[in-house]
Structure 1
Amino acid sequence: MSPAPAARTTVVLPPVAYGHDQGRQMSEADDACGVPDPLRQAVQDQLKARYDVVRPVPGTTGTDAALLLKIDITDIVTVSAGGPTIVVVRAVLEQPGLPSAQFQGLRQAHTPSADVTAQTTECSAMDAVIQGLGVDVAKWMRKPVDGVSLVNGE
């Protein structure tokens, strides 16, 4: 008889929030593209192969025998159609019985001028940036060393 499969680790992933950096608090007014929900989904999609990803239960800390992954957006830059699109995030992983680990990721992209059309907006490259950040967070979660910083996945 083969052994039972190992239990999957649960990751509690609250909604992505706007954070602050260098004394400046980000807000929805700084975000023309609506980044938090698609970013949370991108991270969840990348993590679900290795973890059970759940939303926090109201009234609980979410850390009872589970990993808690909090993600804040600390900067968003979007410049007219075809211009650079940049998102910077900070993630904190809280693990029961261990010190928390922090990660910073920056992704940037732009729409090549040959691909700019009348429908191109400052948010056209955002999906690639968000998906890339999802990959970066999942990569870090494999070995969550404190203080890791990735720029475009490296």
Structure 2
Amino acid sequence: MTARQSVRNACIAMAVSLVLAACSSHDPQSPERMPPAPAAYNTVILPPVVYGNYQGRQISESDDACGVPDPLRQAVQDQLKARYEVVLPVLGTGRDAAPLLKIEIMDMVTVSAGGPTIVVIHAVLERPGLPTAQFKGLRQMHTQPSDITAETTECSSMDAVIHGLGADVAKWMLKPMDGVSLVNGE
């Protein structure tokens, strides 16, 4: 090997070393240089729906002939699942960066078969680092006299009311502004 080849090989080795060093120091895929993962806004914590107070009166299970809380929670979860992973809170752990959506039933009316079916809810969305946003929704339905059959009960319209409220909450969650109220989705 001549002196010229030795110098050439040394220059090539230095150039390759410099290129490799430059590439590794600017590698955008390097895990230690990646910014922390964004907050888990694709997850919503949805505790069980509870009965709330309305005009100084505590709503309870005895006021609920149709068993609204669990189907209402399911309706909200079904509506939100296209955009979020909806989870129950885990006891004993601190709250992650996921928003917390609490829903209370403020009032409900189920009179008789064919009578009005009304449910009023209040939702509170707590988001880490952002102000709390509140939502009120009211859905009502009347069964037309021509639609009343022997199987019609006071809870016959409740499924439609509950699913409508689930859609209202999901609509609000697209842009959760504080103080929004919807009556029958409008």
TM-score by length of 1: 0.93
5+ residue gaps, structure 1: 1-5
Cα deviations by residue, 1:49-92 (Å, 9 ceiling, x for unpaired): 00010000012353x21010000000000111001000000000
Consecutive unaligned residues in structure 2, runs of 5 or more? 1-37
Matches within 5 A, 1:1-154: 9-62=42-95, 64-154=96-186
Q: List structure 1 segments (4+ residues) > 2 angstroms apart after TM superposition.
A: none
TM-score, normalised by the number of residues in structure 2: 0.77
The higher-RCO structure (CA 8 Å, 6+ apart) is 1
Counterpart contact for 1:8–1:52, Cα < 8 Å: no
Structure in which a larger fraction of residues adopt helix? 2
Structure whose residues are more often strand by fraction: 1
Higher Cα Rg: structure 1 or 2?
2
**What is the aligned residue count?**
148
Counterpart secondary structure, 1:119:
coil
Shift of 1:8: 6.1
Residue 46 of structure 2 aligns with an amino acid whose one-letter code is L
Question: Residues 147, 8 of structure 1: CA spacing in aligned structure 2 closer, same or farther, 3 A cutoff?
Answer: closer
Q: d(CA) in 1 for partners of 2:164 and 2:94? A: 29
What is the root-mean-square deviation in Å for CA atoms of aligned residues? Answer: 1.3
Contact 1:89 1:104 survives alignment (8 Å): yes
Deviations 1:13-62 (A, max 9, x none): 00000011211111000000000000000000000000010000012353
The one-letter code matched in structure 2 to 1:126 is: M
